[in-house]
Structure 1
């Protein structure tokens, strides 16, 4: 019997060993593609920041004037205030950014560090970036990167960063973004690589930017990689042959390289073969023993089953087929008949449980939906009351508020659908904003960023209004003017991501931790009821992948992120 078993194992190995080796190569390329995509996403976000920064001509003119001639303290303070107000929210929403510099060519060695303000190369602890810029200043390269260690203050420990340089669009200068290298290394280590696999990230000059934590790369291997042809897939160093997989990125000229010894690939494959052979032998042996043991007890076990089923049938009032069990009774027919009957009963119970669960979920969803209307009506009616109280000479503003309020009430009370197009949600959110702008005497501004293609996608009702309401009531509490809200709607793959940013007072760290913990556990609160309501409805309709998260820094502002897939998960009746 062992000869057929061994032959089967050899046949399986011959078929699957090449397949497994090929899958190993595909997996390496997929891992490189994943990390390359993450790096390109990061570069695109930084490029977007630089584009927004370059379009602010007023700020750039002020920065250039102060860099060249910084005799006026008022201009220096004005430049620091405006740059911090514009750039700190961009940096705060991207936790991987450690710091940012803006250098416009000048003879004084001055540049802007966010948030320190105007500093000088001669007195600032970090100046090595300037040498890299001088080397690339006259070249055609507009975007490059390197790794270095730096400190912003003399008393700080050195921080490892990857520095991304991008020349300014309309000025002679450069913007410098320092990205925490621990963030990039953590993302790389999360790829779950095999033990002997090395992932290397090289810049446009071929210098090593980053490698996985477990990687020990010799200088000899790095030199061989530099001199190897781009199409070369294997590399032999002394007695070891390595498999090389490369992925190139057009952004920054980055290279993502996977290096793994061929011996490690085939050792894993042959280990699978040996485990498979051992498993087949063990299973064959256990099967023989079980068959011998079961044959001795087969008849006794069958009779025990028949006795149990017969007793159960008698107690439930149904007679077993054929009456009492005799020598001529068909035992298999008797067992099958009773098993089928029990199976039907079990299926009926399952259907009852599913129906009850659906009813309970539907009731909870309706209760959460109905909870929004009173909460929203109270705040809006307060706004109408105060404006009616203040404005007596003319009814124009009040009429406008009532008209907006009527649209919102109609949207809330007449539409019975759980999902609505994003265009409707945006329209009625704007109506609510118009009401609040009148109430707060136009003390804040709201900007929208979205493409028209996303407006036809589905969304839950009253998704944006509670978030905007919290930004106005809680975020801008005590502020007189200059407050801003930005609402950005994006489509990323199969997911809709909505970010609501404000430059209000922010949330204290202890309170923020309480809110974040409650959101993760799908709990509610007496405060911020709208946020918890939206988070719970997103989970009920779109599943666990949907939800709401909050990031805030006290004194800087708050970012609320909402994400959900294009289509909701199906309910049992759909």
Structure 2
């Protein structure tokens, strides 16, 4: 396992070094300095800052959550004290029996005085009412005069949530935010606007023995009781604590005007009432805030504490900015130091490289002016020593070596000339012609041997004939036919060659030795020296302004892989392994006429192969077409 990891590391290092070697030394050293100094500094700064901020936020969330919990408990206790007042009312059997008797003037007075007595014992109770299915009971003084508020539209009240939710809770009290409600509870008939700055408790009253529903007790309590009793639980540091209801912020406790305020915030229900308790971090009225809230049980009231997050994290922001300033200074300093260090290395190296380039241009008088005591200076001194020794060596052996090379070249040329003379085609052709005549003399006339010699001599004559590079297509076809006849001498079963051209082959020209190598290639590769009903057909036609000559055999054909390799070779992408004749003809055609022309091969295994020769229409005597491009 360790060996595998070591090999992977070395391979990865090799690739990295290979990439770095493509960058010049100046840029390489600058990048190295920046990576080693800037990245760690930025990472440490941001990592430390994030850890610090997260720690502050976590501690603040715990502290504020505890604060909201304590305030919530105190509010619950305060509300419980008012709920005990309701117990005083419905625990009185006389009062309950009067409610069951029905609405009468005497009953109104007794019940009203009872409500008035309970309310006056607590200065924060603004009003108490009892609503039954048959009527309404208000507070009354000792003289039988109404002393509290009342509900104008009693039927509408019975359909409201104040009445229905109290019944649904079966005797448990429920509290509502009515601090901004002005059309339900009224202090007197003459006052136009309803009560405000109160919260309301409703509780269903039942017969203790029969558990039959009697009515709903309503209690309006001034919210000032919360302000007076919760001051000691307010957070005097960052942030503000609010009591929040369905209609928005009801009140604030020890508000700090420099901290976020809910007084002008609307539609907060989607944040606070999704779950009974939780927290929120985000923007409210353009201020980045952190808020913790908790719902008071059996009420629609929530205790909310909100802090300015930016103010809370101001110290962290200052530390972050200081660190970033230091990082910026270190970056500038690192760049300057990296520049000086890099220039001290790259500048003498560039001078040495310039001297080396001059040396490679055969200017042996070059000299590197060393300045310094580092390794580059030593390298420059060794270079000057090498230049001097090279100059001395050249002076000693250069002329002698040139003379030796000249002698060797002349000797090689002489040997080649001797070889060429030994196998001169004209000498061979003349010798064969003498042999043919001797054969005819011995046989007393034409014989099979003399005919074979005659056909081979004709083939030799066509090959050694001095002419232009371009010859009529007729002559090229005749050469191919003669070649086939010579080949047929060695085969018991002859190769059938058919020629069919739809144009006059005397009128158009083709590069010499174009078709014959293709015939030879077909005979060698298509039939594997085992000829049985072998056929080769040559079909010529004109397509647009091109001449197309198709050479088709009925040989063994090629497999798909062999065909693809050959096509890649002819397109210039493949590696030359075989089919030298085809590639040679293809390249000659492209050199003569351009990339659009040349050979195209199609083949099917067991069926045969077709080679298409495409060349432009050329009439008349052509001279030297090697630079002609279509």
- Asked if these proteins are the same fold (TM beyond 0.5), I'd say no
Give the structure-2-normalised TM-score. 0.27
Q: Which has the larger radius of gyration?
A: 2
